[in-house]
Structure formats: C-alpha cells, structure tokens
Chains A and B, each alone.
Chain A
Amino acid sequence: MTLARLRPGENGRITKMGAIGPLKRRLMDMGVLIGERIKVEKIAPLGDPIEVTIKNYNLSLRKKEAEGIEVEVVK
C-alpha cells in the first residue's frame, strides 16, 4: 500500500522508497526514511496535496510523490 492511499488520521510505517534520484534524496533529507512512522493528517480542500506528520513535524507533499512511498498500516 502506498502513502497516497492512507486516510487522514491513519498511521503507517514506511517499508520501501520507490522514488528515485533527487526526489528520493529530498524526501530522505526531510526525514522520510524506511522504518519511520508517518501519519496522514489532512488532505487539501481540492484533494491534493496531503499533509503528514513525520519526525514530529508537519510536511506536505503531492499525492504523486506519496505514491512512491510504500507503507504498512500501524495502529
């Protein structure tokens, strides 16, 4: 399952980073790493982008970017 499909309020743990190149490095620089816990907070009023919490701060990214991040749902 990808991060883009998590619903607001749901938590996930990152299992795989499908993104490549600068996008991947940028995500990693922002703390989006394998094993990290991530929570979807909100979806923007127009349906994209999404807001997540990771490493205790809020990050926004487009759904297309979130599709490259595999997660497993955690309670």
Chain B
Amino acid sequence: MSAQTAEDITQSAEHGLNSREKIITIAVAGNPNSGKSTLINALTGSRLHVGNWPGVTVEKKLAIFEYEGTKIRLVDLPGTYSLSPYTQEEIIAGDYLVHEKPDLVINVVDATNLERNLYLTVQLLELGIPVIVAMNIYDEALTRGYEINIKTMEELLGVRVIPTVATKKTGLDDLLKAITGAADSAFLHRPKRLNYGNDIETAASVVESHVRNSNPQLVENYPLRWLSFKLMEGDHHAMEGINLGDIPFVGEATKHLIKAHGEDIESIMADERYALAAGIAHEVLKKPEFRKMEVTEKIDRIVLNRFLGIPIFLAAMWLMFKLTFDFSAPFADWIDAMTTGPFKRWAEAFLGFFHAPAWTTSLVTDGIIAGVGFVIVFVPVIFAMMLFITFLEGSGYMARAAFVMDRAMHAIGLHGKSFIPMLLGFGCNVPAVYATRTLENPRDKALTVLLIPLMSCGARLPVYVVFIGAFFPSHAGTVLWSLYVMGIGLAIVMGLIFKRTLFKGESPMFIMELPPYRMPSFKSLMIHTWEKGKHFLIKAGTYILAVSILVWFLLNLPWGVEQRKDSYLGQMGQVIAPALEPLGFGTWEAAASLVSGLIAKEIVVGTMGEIYVQKADEADKKEIPTLKDDLKEIGTSFAAAAQHAAENVISTFGIASMSSEESVEETEARSSLRGVIKGQFTPLSAYVFITFVLLYMPCVVVAIAMRQEFGTWKWFGIAFGYQMALAWGVAFLIFQGGKLLGIGG
C-alpha cells in the first residue's frame, strides 16, 4: 500500500539514528508558489524521501538530518492558502498540525505577496505552536523596491522572521540556527495571541470558559484558542477529529456576533483574519509609489493573448510532446535491444554452464529478463516527461495552460489542466497517468485518468500498421486518422456520460492563482524527476515483473506444451473466441493475441507473429557473439542511441533530418504476418479488429500506474469495465452495420 510508505520511510530513517537523542520535528507550511519546495530541497537535498499521505495521492516529503548536533525531522505539509477544511491539502495540513503536534512550524512566506501569505500565518498562530517565518523570495521583493521591516514584523507576530532566498541558498544558515535555537528554548517562540477585535474576542472567551469547564481533558490535548475558533466556525471536520459533537452554548455565544455583522460566522472569521494580515502587511511593508510593469505581465500579454494564446500553447505542447518521445525513444530501443540481446545470451550461457533445464532458461530469459527489460524500457520516457511537467509547473506556465484550455475541457467535465495528460496519452498512457498529479481535485483527476486510455498510444500503432498494410494500403492515412479521431470522439462522449453519472453534481471550482513566472532551480527539477523515476522503477517495476512472469507461465503451461493452441493462453483464446464471433474475428488466434495485449499492446503484433506464422527457427541460427563483442555492442549502441536522441531533438527544430531505420528482419516478419492475416480477416473484420485494439483496455502498466496514483484498484476496475464494454459495443456496431451495408462481408 502506498499509504504506508511515508511512515515506513520515517521509521526506517529514524531507526538509523541514536534513539536516546532527541529529534525535533518541524512541519513546513506555506502557500503554493511560495518557493516552499525549493526551500526544502535546498535544506535537505538528497536526504529527502517522497511518499504519499495516508489514503490520498498528495505527496508527502520527509527528511531527517542533523545541524550542529541537533537532529531534525522535517515534514513538508501540502501547499495551502488556508487551513479551512475544504480541500484535501488543507485537511492534511490542518490535521497534521493539530493531531501530530510538531515541535515547530516553519511558515514559508512569499515576500512579494505578503498580505495573502500572512493570512495563513495568522491561522498558524492560532495553533499556539512555535512558529518561525521564512520570508522567502526576499531578493525579488528588494528588486521591486519593497522595504520590509523584519524587526517590526517579529514584534507584531511574536515569532522569528528570517529572510531567505531558497533558489540562491541565502539565509538558510540563519534559518537552521533559528530552528536549533528554538529547540532549546521553545517557550521563547510561542507566538503572540493576536487580537481579533471586541466582538470575536468576547464570543471566544465565553466559548473558551465553557470548554474549559465541560471538557478539561480536551483542553490539555488541544490549543484552547484553536478549539474555541473551530467550535465557533462550526468546523465539522475538526470536531469529528477530536470526537466532539455540537455544543449548544456555542450558538448562544456567537448569536450577537452574527447579528452585529450580518454575515455567517465563517465569513466574519475570514474577514478578521484578512484584516489582521492586511494590518501587519501595512505596518511592515513599504512599496514604491510607482510600479513598473513586471516581466510576468509582459509575458502574459503575449502568452494569454486572445489570438495568440491558443497557437502558442499548442506549439509549446507539440514541442514538449515531440521532445519527450523523440528523446526517449532511442534509449528505450537501446534498452530493449540490450535485454533481448546480450543480457539474454549471457543468462543462457550462464544457465547452460550449470546444465539448467530448458524451462528454467526460458523462464529466466523470456520471463524475468524480458520482464525487467519491459520495466526499464519505460524509464526514459517517464524521466523525460517528468522533467517537462516539473518545468511547466515550476515555471508557472502550467496555470496558464489550464487558463487557456479550461473552456474546452470544462465542456466535457474536465479541468483545464487535464489537457496535458490527455495529450501525453498519445505517446504513452503510462506517463500520462502520472502527469495527472498536477490536478489537485480528486474528481478531476479520476475523470481524466478514465479517459486517457482512449488516446491511442504509440504501442497500438504497430497493430494498426500491420492491418492497414494488409488491407487498406491505398487509404492508409485515412484509416489511421479515423482511429485517432474515433478515440477522441469517444473520449468526449464518455466524458459527457461520466459527468452525468459517475461524477454527478457540482463540478469542482476553478479558483486558481496565476503565479509570477519563475525559473525553477536545476536542483528542484532533478530531484522531482529522479523521485518520480525511482518511484516507477521500484513500485511499478515489481508488479510488472510479476505479471510478465505470469504471462510466461500462461504461454508455457501445462508442462511440455508443444502447440501454442494447447498452452493456457491458447486455451483462454479458445474460451474467449465465441464472444468475439459477432465481431467477425471469433478465432482462438485472434482472441489469444488480444489476451497477450494485456501486458502491453506492442506485444499483440509479436504474439500474432508467433501464433499465425510458423516460426522458421533454423534460419535464425546466427553466429553467437563473444562476450567481448557483446560489451562492445553495448557501448557502441548506447553511443548510437544517445546520438540518435540528440539528432531527434535537433531535428525537432528543423536542423537535421531524421533517419528512419526499421530493421530488415522486422519488416520481413511483418510482411509474412501480413500475408497470413489476409487469409484470416476480411477488410471489414480487420478494421473492426484494430478498432477493438484501440478501445479494449489499458495495458497492465497503465493499470499499475492507476493503482499507484489512487492507492486502490477501483479506478482501473472502472476503466477496464467500461472499455471492454465500449470496445465490444463499438466493434459490434461497426461489424454488423458493415455487414448490413454489404461492406467487405
């Protein structure tokens, strides 16, 4: 379970430390875009562990490190604007602060946007936990001509305020010194009790004394100020968290308050907190009279322009898509060639040396090594994609992309940010599923993930190519185009259906900050990319390996099976075939090929080759290369792959031309397969078959990615179910309709 990862990490990390020594726990809180991530990366570096908060897909970052003899356990809270109980992030942050009671809170504040950031600070002070404010992005504030009086601010809040520039690692030492200093004398860092004005304070003191009398043990465990405010606000989430129902006297105490302000109590509190934030900002901040037009404004004039906005966005997306897949494809091919070539040969030689039985060799080479290779093949594309996504988010462009595309995506119940994952789906559905991390709302995320498999990924292309080559050589372009359009069209239809059924009710709001453009630090980019790639390798890798071994058994059991038809896979094909009869391809060969597509759609063509074409094994006997040859090949082919990747990237900008290189062998295999399937399918049933391949189910890697992102199989189950039904239904309609019209019979 992904939910326990973070805890595991904590425990294992703590285990290594001397348990007699005290560890101080600090929670880092702050607004999104306040540079919190960068600050944490700068403080902790490679000691950072990334997991998930229990039960949700929000990232949890943890680090344990030592500074001048003090052991520090740092917990990164999700970026929030407030501690109200309305978003997943706010709930996680609030619950952690109240129930886990960290020793200290570091509040990262964006110095260029003081007032809105201080709104969260005000709420943090209500908790009574020692707070240190990291006044981040301080350099930019100075460049803008802001004067911030740190000393006054410290006096007003009653806590330390440390100017920092996370991207340049300025102020980090001061911050760490303040942290260790606070650990020794926590009582000096108790924040001030801010004055919320007569009306609120009167009501609060009534509530406080009632709570103190009626629930003394509650007061021991939770800060009284926080308790009374939450009771007044009627915060159900907080009340449930501390097992407290409605208390009758609260309504009595706040009655006067509500009457005097003519507003609901939540609004009155929010108003007052903002008034305090504005008051402090006004006291400590001096801004220049004249404001220059900022870079962000200049860029947005072009990027969000009425006419240029969409073309620029699409061009940026095209570039990202092309770079991601062009760059990663040669490396993926290289990894593929290595695992099917030298590594396989070495394993064979090694096992042969010990006279291992043939089935062991087959299990190791075709099951395990092929499975491992299969996992690693995805690594380049995931790394490349994560790099781009991190850059888009860190730079601030992601919010603009959502702004530009929201209207179109909202029409089918999606969020503006859904566009990028959907687009990536055309390359590979796996990174597309991971890219949905940028969607904060669980509903938006689930709906996007459900629709991604309808984007025809690159792995399905070889299947189309074989069939189109055999049946529609003169209309290849049109047929191929029709498949992609069908996928998009059905995504729109399914989006509308899901919006009205599974996700009925109010669609989530689109209240989103458009943060200033900022260059993400190289270190942050690397850390995020690496973490994601590692996550995939370890977590997804284990599952995928298990599945590929399972498939090996399906193909090779029962023991001593000679014909593919008699293997479990063949038998499954025979069982499933009748269900495919109304679609025009009710043969066990077709059914077994489709079953093999379970592991990955690119395997469909390979399986078909194995099943349909009698293997001419004798012709395969080539000279076995020596170890030296192999090593040389690994090196030179990697160099070739790197060169190829570089060429692809350059060719994107139209400087060099791309060399097409499909190996002769492969073409030959395909052309013989083409000949055989010509006898097995009609043009109509061929088209229906590729339609089925387009729609029928996401591959197992997508399934695992979905499991990983949601922590449950639920969404994969729904995707699997609806796609099977959709594939069968659409295939049925096309085949039967086509037959009625007398096309291709």
Contact = CB atoms under 8 A, between A and B. Distances in A.
Interface of A: 17, 22-31, 33-34, 42-49, 51, 55-62, 65
A56 B113 contact: yes
Given A29-B270, A30-B81, A58-B296, 14 more contacts: A23-B511, A25-B266, A26-B84, A27-B511, A30-B513, A34-B271, A43-B306, A44-B406, A45-B309, A45-B310, A47-B407, A49-B510, A61-B509, A62-B509
Interface string B408-422: 101000001000000
A59 to B, nearest CB: 6
B514 interface: yes
A18 to B, nearest CB: 12
Interface in B267-311: 267, 270-271, 274, 296, 300, 304-307, 309-310
Nearest to B409: A46
A45 B307 contact: yes
Contact of B511 (A44, A55, A65): A65
A25 to B, nearest CB: 5
A60 B396 CA distance: 13
B404 interface: yes
B406 A51 contact: no
B530 interface: no
A32 B64 CA distance: 39
Contact of A55 (B86, B115, B306, B402): B115
Nearest to B117: A57
Interface of B: 81-82, 84, 86-87, 113, 115-116, 119, 266-267, 270-271, 274, 296, 300, 304-307, 309-310, 399, 402-408, 410, 416, 509-515
A14 to B, nearest CB: 12
A26 B508 CA distance: 11
B310 A59 contact: no
A51 B514 contact: yes
A45 B510 contact: no
B513 A45 contact: no
Given A26-B86, A44-B309, A33 B274 contact: yes
A31 B510 contact: no
Contacts of A26: 84, 86-87, 509, 511
A31 B84 contact: no
A34 to B, nearest CB: 8
A34 B268 CA distance: 11
Given A25-B86, A60-B403, A45 B270 contact: no
B278 to A, nearest CB: 8
A3 B652 CA distance: 44
Contact of B267 (A28, A55, A57): A28
22 contacts: A23-B511, A24-B266, A26-B87, A29-B81, A29-B82, A29-B119, A42-B300, A43-B306, A44-B407, A45-B307, A46-B310, A48-B407, A49-B407, A55-B113, A58-B514, A60-B402, A60-B403, A60-B511, A60-B513, A61-B510, A61-B511, A65-B509
